[in-house]
Amino acid sequence: MSNYPAPSYAAYIWTVGDELHLGLPPQGHNKGHTVILPMTEKGLVTAIDILRDRERARALTVSTPGAPTQYEVWAAMKATNKKKREEREAAKAAVAREREAKALIQQLGGRKAAKNLLKQLGLL
């Protein structure tokens, strides 16, 4: 397969400081635009995802996976960050609950005593 000319779904990519700019050229009657991503692992992964979506797309109209708007890019990255933060907080809460349970078992005189107490309370 020839690498030239570039395919119709090709995009321009360049850096400005710590930003990655992805230039999405016009397709048909649609205007081209640029989305700006952070120069991080997540930013690079997002850029690659957009490029893959461009290759698969039937039409590259604005606000589609192959030609997302800046707002859509930031919203998706924010949602991913929020999900990761919630996962970290849930893991911290689970560790805290486990510590509390271990401390309670020690206060009750060990596992056997705690198990007996839970049976008496009808919780086991």
Per-residue pLDDT tens digits for 53-64: 888 887 777 777
The Cα 93–Cα 80 span in angstroms is 20
- Grouping H, G, I as helix, E, B as strand and the rest as coil, residue 114 is helix
- 94 vs 43, residue with greater confidence: 43
The CB density around residue 20, as the number of other CB atoms within 10 Å, is 19
Q: Which of 29-43, 72-86, 89-103, 110-124 has the lowest mean pLDDT?
A: 110-124
What's the confidence (pLDDT) of residue 95? 85
